[in-house]
Amino acid sequence: MQDKDMELQPTEADEEYSPTIITLTDENGDTYMFEIVDEIDYNEEHYLAVVEYFEDPQKALEAEPVLIIFRVGDADEDGLDTFDIVDDDEEFFEVGGIFEKRLSEIYEIEE
């Protein structure tokens, strides 16, 4: 078959990717951008799995992604959600294990 006879069909991968980005400000006033890669409800809490987001695609390719798990907290005085890094070992391993299982179907995860 010659190339001109082939008809390419769009696939899901061809659709434009639109990540969900959150910008967080820490207690020192520094801001950070994260891409939400997954989220779950577990033990009556809502959790986000995020990686640092880079607007520059080259920086994104060069960076080694690190998965961070946030627990979504109560809204602040401005009505905005608060996010706490999960630092309790037991909670981290439980929730992290769930995310690892879910995300390993999509991403290559190193332990």
Its pTM surpasses 0.85: no
- pLDDT tens digits, one per residue of 35-93: 999 999 999 999 999 999 988 888 888 888 888 999 999 888 888 888 998 989 999 99
Residue 111 has pLDDT above 60, yes or no: no
Q: Which of 53, 51, 47, 52 is nearest to 97 (CA)?
A: 47
Segments of 1-111 assigned E as strands: 20-25, 31-42, 45-52, 68-72, 83-85
108 is written with which tokens? 């290559």
Residue 2 has pLDDT above 60, yes or no: no
- pLDDT tens digits, one per residue of 47-61: 999 999 988 888 888
Q: What residue segments make up the domains of the chain, in order of their start?
A: 19-103
Q: What secondary structure letter does DSSP report for 28? A: T
**Radius of gyration, alpha carbons of the chain:** 18
49 near 69, Cβ under 8 Å? yes
Task: Report pLDDT for 40.
Answer: 95
Give the neighbor-by-neighbor strand order of the sheet with 20-25: 20-25, 31-42, 45-52, 68-72, 83-85
